[in-house]
A = this chain, B = another copy of it.
Amino acid sequence: MEQFKVVMNDNEIPTQWYNIQADMPTPMKPPLHPGTGKPLGPDDLAPVFPMNLIEQEVSQERWIDIPFEVLEKYLLWRPTPLYRARNFEKLLGAPVKIYFKHEGISPAGSHKPNTAVPQAYYNKVFGIKRIATETGAGQWGSALAMACKMFDLECRVYMVRVSYEQKPYRRLMMNTWGAECIPSPSTLTNAGRNVLAAHPDSPGSLGIAISEAVEDAVTHENSRYSLGSVLNHVLMHQTIIGLEAQKQMKTLGIYPDVVIGCAGGGSNFAGIALPFARDKIHGKKVTIIGAEPASCPTMTKGPFAYDFGDLAKMTPLLPMYTLGHDFVPAPIHAGGLRYHGMAPVISHLVREKVMEARAYDQLETFDAGVKWARTEGFIPAPETNHAIAAVVDEARRAKEEGKEKVILFDWSGHGLVDLASYDAYLSGKLEAYELPDEEIQRALKAIEGLPKP
């Protein structure tokens, strides 16, 4: 019988995260204080994050031990299986072997709990009692809700109002895990009240929700803020995906020619890619591809610049590929990829040509996702469909070149709570969309006058 997957026992789970800071080919630019424009110090972040996470954020250590209490929670669904997609391979008829990490089997259905659990743990250890965060489509909010309940922390999630109303299932996941989910803009914060005063019917935005969550965290006792992507420590927590994949592929005696992940803020892509990026920096030959939406082409069309992480300009200035902090992506169904910037770590590695990026149109991604569901069974999240579209693209290239390739990608989550998007696709309601260059140029005006990296 052919082998379809590699499973690992509990005692084979990696016990350290990998921190790529120790292997960066060149130093990264520092984040800057939004007020002074000077490099940010750990103390600047102390009101927002607990110090133990800030230490991780700036750490240069290559390996960071995963605390026992975090491993115990990881073991509820990790190690995730490494799958070989034999049925999808047959459909493509290309000279490729396709492997994927199945992150959809986590309780929240995505890779997000990989960082939600340690973030909740470190906050708990630091003496924090409650966490505030924001969420767009709800993947992050639901993962953090679960993690907070596991460590007995209160959790409040500001959810972009339009998603709150359109996507009740992820809100209900948060409630089931005991978190409070508030439609944003809300009347609970100054930031929310100001928006509502000017626009009583505001549908909300991720930018507004971030502002509300940060304000909430710094104005409540024993509270901190938590972010689900972009930051160094968040990406580092996700490296457990790639580290497991490396162990699993080793048991098969193979190494991938191509590593693929979908990329929004960068945490999922980093999770599968960073351990392989380390190998590449040290001389290994491997192509590492981040798949982003053509409607939000941060890495493929944005400049590398200092920019704010949010619309309200409350965050530090981060050195990253960006479309400008007031760029509003088209309302595509892959809500998790609708972010104007890209994690500084990923941005730096793309600049250094350790990684590369490709953009795919929404229609192309759903075409790939439906083909996947009909051969491999599992229905992918709209975000994951971007990675699958890149796999299809790589398979086509391999066929054209007549070259055998081993492809590894991260199947970041299932689409069972996103089925309305499949309905739109299957009933012909989705259209191809090319983002006009003028729109990008207009959006980039927002970063004029900011410091240059």
Contact = CB atoms under 8 A, between A and B. Distances in A.
B422 A176 contact: yes
Contacts of A68: 1
A25 B386 CA distance: 56
Interface in A171-205: 172-173, 175-178
Contacts of A419: 168-169, 172-173, 176
Contacts of A75: 1, 4-5
A71 B423 contact: no
- Nearest first, the 8 closest Cβ-Cβ pairs linking A and B are A107-B377, A172-B419, A4-B75, A7-B7, A107-B378, A176-B422, A149-B374, A169-B419
Question: Size class of A's contact patch?
Answer: 35 or more
A4 B76 contact: yes
How many identical subunits does the complex contain?
2
Nearest to A427: B175
A11 B7 contact: no
Given A1-B11, A105-B105, A172 B377 contact: no
A93 B430 CA distance: 52
Main secondary structure, interface of A, reads helix
Contact of A379 (B5, B76, B77, B176): B176
A439 interface: no
Contact of A9 (B7, B10, B175, B374): B7
A33 B173 CA distance: 47
Given A1-B11, A5-B75, 10 more contacts: A1-B68, A4-B72, A7-B9, A76-B376, A105-B105, A107-B377, A149-B374, A150-B375, A168-B419, A178-B374
A416 B109 contact: yes
Contacts of A178: 374
A107 B9 CA distance: 22
A155 B370 CA distance: 17
Interface string A368-387: 00100111111100000000
A256 to B, nearest CB: 20
A417 interface: yes
Contacts of A231: none
Contacts of A150: 87, 375, 377
A294 to B, nearest CB: 23
A326 to B, nearest CB: 34
Contacts of A379: 107, 173, 176
B107 A422 contact: no
B10 A420 contact: no
Given A172-B422, A172-B423, A373 B416 contact: no
Contact of A373 (B77, B176, B376, B417): B176
Contacts of A113: 377
A328 interface: no
Nearest to A375: B150
A258 interface: no
A2 interface: yes
A423 B172 CA distance: 6
A294 B87 CA distance: 43
A426 interface: yes
A168 B419 CA distance: 9
A416 B169 contact: yes
A422 B1 contact: no
B426 A2 contact: no
Contact of A146 (B10, B72, B377): B377
Nearest to A9: B7
Interface in A206-223: none
